[in-house]
């Protein structure tokens, strides 16, 4: 099996093939990713049977974790759009904050939602809102999609109770309360960096929001637009349920003093993203004056049809990532970068290399934390605050960069009607900027704490 530099060159060649095939040959991303997955595994020296199994398992694993979320999310989006609820939501937000700050509000909304909700689930829930706001504020869909994705991404890697940072805190022995506090301090300015990238770079790529339904269409069908409360309910209810589920699963949540056992089980059930989104889908039926078979059958069917492409591409991305996870990349990257001896930068670079190679931010965080834990003393990070900043540096690396082997990349691309070549420029480069900005800010904060301490 290939190892070391030849394996890294194979990975780079695989990524180059994906970019070339999708951007220049116009080969659909679903087929491109599957070809890349099979070819990478076979060329790397995996047993052919194992390579085939890895592709199948990777495809199924991703869809098992997010398939229902995507299907339910598209149903909600379809109902909000065709009922006019999306128009009501967009108008409410624009009347409150004004069109000139739409991208910033979209990014902030994403950052708040992603604290209790996985960034991919949050994007599915809020993508329809981004489309409606883009239409109502005459902005490119690319601008608000990247702003939303950035906000979701930032707190996903920095602020517990999302699994990555909370697990890293446990592995490195960092105080979770301090990680939350410092994670919020890091996230605030970086969220605005994401919004600025969206308005200055992503905005160069025009994507028509292309709503199916206009205000006149809704009034002709139902006589009036839905109320503000009914319009927001299908979005806010799933977010609330997932947030409550996250609290119920927080460390020590199984302590009898925290919540009764049976109650905790039910909170975790309703807080599961799939369950919460299904409840949101049924809630979305209530935005119209009368629930008819058009709503419960036709709209649902159309939503499922729209979701099929997203599901296929996301699953194929998971297949590619699963093949890469079987290759001996982690040991090589750990040996190469783990002993740099430059503190936070070593943790950042190691996490960034793993993220770029494997695709999953959570896997990059967990793996890097395991590599860094025994090196804390030699890296000068064994103090209480040193461990906290190590967690944050790993988080910064874990979003550097998001590309073809990251399922979040494909969710953003497909839900925002973004061409793959455009996504590499508007989103992938943006994650590089987010990561570099984050580690610079983290190093500054570490020095400030050192001076004050």
pLDDT score of 422: 93
Residue position matching structure tokens 């056992």: 261
pLDDT score of 97: 75
Most confident of 80-89, 134-143, 214-223: 134-143
How far apart are alpha carbons 332 and 3 in whole angstroms?
8
- For residue 357, the tally of other CB atoms under 10 A from its CB is 23
Q: DSSP readout, 191-245? A: HHHHHHHHHHTGGGS------S--HHHHHHHHSSPPPHHHHHHHHHHHHHHHHHH
Handedness of CA 93, 96, 99, 104 (dihedral sign): negative
Which candidate, 164, 122, 161, places its Cα nearest to that of 145?
Answer: 122
E-assigned strand segments in 36-109: none
The torsion angle over the Cα atoms of residues 95, 98, 99 and 100, rounded to 10 degrees, is 180
Structure tokens of 269? 């059930």
Question: Comparing 55-64, 100-109, 125-134, 239-248, which segment has the lowest mean pLDDT?
Answer: 239-248
pLDDT in tens, 345-380: 888 988 898 888 878 887 788 878 877 887 788 778
pLDDT in tens, 272-308: 888 988 999 999 999 888 888 989 999 999 888 878 8
Q: DSSP readout, 180-191? A: HHHHHHHHHHHH
Residue position matching structure tokens 């691309």: 413
Alpha helices, DSSP H only, in 292-404? 293, 300-326, 329-337, 344-358, 361-372, 384-397
Q: Which residues lie closer than 8 Å to 6 by C-beta, 6 or more apart?
A: none
How far apart are alpha carbons 188 and 136 in whole angstroms?
27
pLDDT score of 57: 93
Q: Which residues lie closer than 8 Å to 321 by C-beta, 6 or more apart?
A: 58, 62, 358, 359, 360, 405, 406, 407
Q: Is 274 within 8 Å of 241 (Cβ atoms)?
A: no
Confidence of residue 116 (pLDDT cuts 50, 70, 90): low
**DSSP conformational letter for 291:** -
Domain boundaries, the chain: 4-206+215-452
Confidence of residue 318 (pLDDT cuts 50, 70, 90): confident
SS3 content of the chain, % helix, strand, coil (to 5): 80, 0, 20
In Å, what is the CA distance from 92 to each residue of 80, 99, 209, 227? 14, 11, 18, 11
């Amino acid at each position: 099996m290939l190892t070391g530099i030849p394996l890294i060159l194979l990975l780079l060649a695989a990524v180059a093939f994906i970019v070339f095939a999708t951007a220049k040959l116009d080969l659909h991303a679903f087929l491109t990713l599957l070809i890349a997955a099979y070819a990478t595994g076979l060329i790397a020296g995996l047993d052919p049977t194992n390579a085939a199994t890895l592709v199948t398992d990777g495809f199924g694993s991703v869809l098992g974790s997010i398939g229902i979320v995507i299907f339910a999310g598209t149903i909600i989006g379809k109902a909000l759009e065709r009922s006019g609820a999306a128009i009501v939501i967009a108008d409410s937000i624009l009347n409150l904050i004004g069109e000139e700050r739409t991208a910033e509000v979209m990014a902030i909304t994403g950052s708040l939602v992603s604290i209790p909700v996985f960034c991919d689930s949050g994007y599915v829930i809020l993508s329809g809102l981004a489309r409606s706001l883009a239409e109502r504020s005459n902005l490119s869909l690319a601008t608000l999609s990247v702003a939303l994705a950035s906000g979701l991404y930032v707190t996903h890697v920095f602020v517990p109770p999302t699994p990555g940072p909370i697990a890293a805190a446990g592995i490195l022995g960092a105080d979770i309360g301090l990680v939350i506090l410092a994670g919020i301090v890091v996230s605030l300015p970086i969220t605005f960096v994401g919004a600025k990238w969206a308005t200055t770079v992503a905005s160069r790529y025009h994507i028509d929001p292309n709503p199916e339904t206009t205000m006149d269409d809704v009034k002709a069908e139902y006589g009036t637009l839905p109320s503000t409360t009914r319009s927001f309910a299908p979005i806010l209810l799933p977010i609330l349920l997932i947030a409550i589920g996250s609290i119920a699963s927080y460390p020590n949540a199984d302590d009898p003093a925290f919540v009764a056992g049976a109650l905790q089980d039910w909170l975790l059930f309703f807080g599961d993203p799939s369950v919460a989104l299904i409840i949101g889908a049924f809630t979305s039926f209530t935005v119209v004056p009368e629930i008819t078979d058009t709503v419960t059958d036709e709209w649902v069917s159309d939503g499922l049809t729209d979701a099929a492409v997203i599901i296929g591409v996301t699953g194929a991305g998971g297949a590619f990532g699963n093949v890469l996870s079987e290759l001996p990349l982690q040991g090589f990257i750990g040996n190469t970068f783990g002993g740099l001896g430059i503190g936070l930068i070593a943790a950042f670079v190691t996490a960034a290399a793993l993220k770029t190679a494997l695709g999953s931010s959570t896997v990059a965080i967990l793996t890097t934390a395991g590599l860094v834990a025994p090196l804390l003393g030699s890296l000068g990070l064994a103090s209480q605050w040193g461990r906290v900043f190590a967690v944050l540096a790993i988080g910064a690396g874990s979003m550097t960069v998001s590309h073809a082997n990251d399922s979040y990349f494909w969710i953003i691309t497909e839900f925002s009607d973004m061409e793959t070549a455009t996504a590499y420029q508007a989103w992938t480069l943006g994650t590089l900027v987010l990561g570099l900005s984050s580690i610079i800010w983290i190093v500054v904060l570490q020095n400030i704490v050192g001076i004050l301490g």
